[in-house]
Each structure stands twice: as structure tokens, then as C-alpha cells.
Structure 1
Amino acid sequence: MQPNDITFFQRFQDDILAGRKTITIRDASEAHFKVGDILRVGRFEDEEYFCTIEVTDTSTVTLETLTEKHAQQENMTREELKRVIAEIYPHQTQFYVIEFKCL
């Protein structure tokens, strides 16, 4: 079985497949992705593959500089997005935005 390049929590799978979630915000351990990368996507919980994405843009952001656009791309409110990022990456301030589209 081929390994996945990136994983998402299962709760995001439907939004990704429907095109409602078009970015992911990650810490420095996943800052190596670049525009044009084609990635196998799996669920974090069980590593089960569910789609392939293409990276269309990358940038950096902090919790303070998250915008409404980021929130829309994540299919949530800005406050909800800030809370989720703080829960996943406690005590971190610098993040990497990976914009993508499903193939």
C-alpha cells in the first residue's frame, strides 16, 4: 500500500471532497510542500487514503493575521479557526498555509 503524503482529521474529509475546504494550516514540520506538489491524502485517524490534491499556493500566517478569507477557505468562522489551530498546535505562533484543489 502506498503511503499518504498528508493527513487530515476525518471530520474534514467531506468538506475537502466537496471543495468547501481548500486550505490547511500546518506547523513547521509540514512547511516543505510547494506549489505543484501532487499529494496523496489520508485520514489522520486510520491513514486510509481518500483523495489526491494539488498544492496551488503556500504562504505563512500567525493566529493574529488569520483573515476571514482563511476562515472561508477552511469552511468555518475566523474565531472557530483560531480556536482549532490553537488546540492542534498549542504554544505555536507561526504557521504555513497550504492551498489546494482536489484532483
Structure 2
Amino acid sequence: MKEKKITFYGRFESDILKGLKTITIRNRLESHYSKGEILNVYRYEDNVFFCTIEIDDVSTIDYNQLNDNHAKQENMTLDQLKEVINNIYPGEQSLYVLSFHLVN
């Protein structure tokens, strides 16, 4: 069976492991995950495994609908969140919110 995986930038590793980051916002290319999936998590930069998460929910959102609640779930301010999204997905308006919790 093929491993199911997802990557995060290394700067988010600590927040994920501490349970401070409980969502990730992705574009259409990374919207194929579904509720209940168990994913092995790797750092994007060096492909090193660091934990396992379970997807709790996947929903769509428009960039302009991002709010303080999303930012809190990302463990950052709304301005920081919007800057991160703009840097990773410049010009993208239609996004996907993946809610998750740490399995191990």
C-alpha cells in the first residue's frame, strides 16, 4: 500500500508537534486529501519525517474570507497568515482548509 504523506515547511514543525497549528491552507493541487485520512508528515525542505496526523475536515475558502480564527489555528496573526499564503500561492483566491490533529 502506498504511503500517504503531506509536507510542511520546517518552520511549522514545532507548532504542529505542540498542537498549536491545527489547520493548513492549500491550493487546488493539494486539495485531494479527505476526512479520516492518516498522513505521514515530512519537512518540505529535506523530506524528513516528523509526525503523523489525521485529517478532520476539508473545506473550501476564498482568500478574502480568511479571518482571525484561521490565523489562530495556524498559530499566527491574520496579517502573517495572508503574507504566508501570498508567498506560497501568489494570486490564488480559491483555497482549501485542511483541519487536522496529531496522531503521534
Which bracket does the TM-score occupy, shorter chain normalised?
Answer: over 0.9
The number of aligned residues is: 102
- 2:40 counterpart residue number: 40
Could you tell me which residue of structure 2 aligns to residue 83 of structure 1?
83
Render the CA deviation track for 1:10-33: whole Å, top value 9, x for unaligned. 000000000000000001011111
- The 1-side partners of 2:73 and 2:18 are apart by 12
SS of residue matched to 1:100: strand
User: Is 1:21 equivalent to 2:21 in the alignment?
Assistant: yes
The whole-number CA distance in structure 2 between the counterparts of 1:4 and 1:86 is 27
* Structure 2 runs not aligned, ≥5 long: none
Structure 1 runs of 4+ with >2 Å offset? none
- TM-score scaled by structure 1? 0.95
**CA shift digits 1:53-95 (9 cap, x unpaired):** 0000111112210011100000001111011101100121111
Q: Is the 8 A contact 1:4 1:47 kept in 2?
A: no
Aligned residues of 2:4 and 2:38 also touching (Cα < 8 A): no
Partner residue of 2:72?
72
Q: Quickly say closer, same or farther: Cα 1:3–1:45, change in 2 above 3 A.
A: farther
Q: Secondary structure at the match of 2:85?
A: helix
Q: Give the whole-Å Cα distance in 2 for the aligned partners of 1:101 and 1:3.
A: 18
Identity %: 49
Partner of 1:63: 63
TM-score w.r.t. the length of structure 2 is 0.94
